[in-house]
Structure 1
């Protein structure tokens, strides 16, 4: 099973933070504007304020927390929920997207509403069970679990899974 376009949007948004590389595609308002254009969420470079950037970061933190494998921090989810409460979505009868951003919104808010709509779709359809965040502290990559029984744990068994096995082995040898 492949991810829906909505799941791909959500995964892409979550992975704007790359823990392993130490990069953040949303670290500055100008970076948020660039990311919105690059991903096609806006057609022209929007004016992004510090407050806009903060909303994107708060929502991304909540999304990443939602897909984590460890115990979720409720305050991070609540903070993201407060961002979502202020995002107006319209119910539509079109088959491609039941929830749509209000077309009258400014570009940055409309793009945030598009991400919120995609997240709602992932939650409603149950795809949320297939979107996971790598538990490696030095990774945290969000990925699609395509295994039949949804048992994939690592973004890459060859990299993160092997690192964890090596750490566990070394700890057993020491102790």
Structure 2
């Protein structure tokens, strides 16, 4: 299975990037409940292993993604946000404090999810989206500038001049397109010069 790109530098933006554009067509990396569960495990918000995915995880995972996409787009455009849909995912996300030991045996206080399984799995991602919307610097929340890419990222570079989801992918595609355009222009100039020369002759 093809894995969704991890280029967003923020869990909420990585969520949006589970839907991409490939050769001009929308491509969904989530086609099954297990796809969503695997992505959540790789994001560190679900247990790894052979846990069975809830039967409604794909439906609600896609719904959360659509809600977050609308909110991020609206926040980026500076329009008023309809936050109730996201609150629908946040309200059943219950956690409780739990005392645990870390890898060195030291006591640490953590919070663990409670309640409905689907809400427990998606809740941390919904919370990450809420934090981004409330506290994120949206001058640094951007969409890749390549015309055939819809991926989002949080620009954490020192210069804050990041333009591409990945320089190795869209950055190089842009450079190649510019090179071809310059080559095409040169060929056209040569052709026009040849026509002018033959006309004078």
TM-aligned CA deviation for residue 127 of structure 1:
3.3
For 2:44 and 2:33, locate their aligned partners in 1 and report how far apart those are by CA, in whole Å.
17
Q: Displacement, 1:118?
A: 0.9
Q: Distance in 1 between matches of 2:164 and 2:149?
A: 10
Task: Confirm whether residue 36 of structure 1 aligns to residue 40 of structure 2.
Answer: yes
Distance 2:111 2:125 in 1: 9
Report whether the alignment pairs 1:55 with 2:60: yes
Identify which of 172, 191, 198 aligns with 1:159: 172
* Matched residue, 1:123: 133
2-side partners of 1:25 and 1:135: how far apart? Answer: 21
TM-score, scaled to structure 2: 0.55
CA distance in structure 2 between the partners assigned to 1:81 and 1:149 by the alignment: 36
Question: Higher strand fraction: Structure 1 or Structure 2?
Answer: 2
Aligned to 1:9: 11
| Partners of 1:118 and 1:104 in 2: CA distance | 17
Structure 2 residue aligned with 1:4: none
**1:108 is matched with which residue?**
118
Give 1:113 deviation, angstroms: 1.0
SS class of match (2:45): coil
Distance, in Å, in 2 between the alignment partners of 1:63 and 1:167 is: 37
**Structure 2, unpaired ranges of 5+:** 1-8, 98-109, 186-201
Number of aligned residue pairs: 156
Query: How far apart in 2 are the matches of 1:167 and 1:124?
Result: 43
TM-score by length of 1: 0.61
Structure 1 or 2, whichever has the larger Rg, is: 2
* Offset, 1:59: 2.0
Write out per-residue CA displacement over residues 111-144 of structure 1, whole angstroms, 9 at most, x where no aligned residue. Answer: 2110111111112223343222224452212222
What is the root-mean-square deviation in Å for CA atoms of aligned residues? 4.3
| Whole-angstrom distance in 2 between the partners of 1:30 and 1:91 | 24
Unaligned runs of 5+ in 1: 1-6, 94-99
**Counterpart in the other structure of 1:138:** 148
Does the 8 A contact of 1:101 with 1:114 survive in 2?
A: no
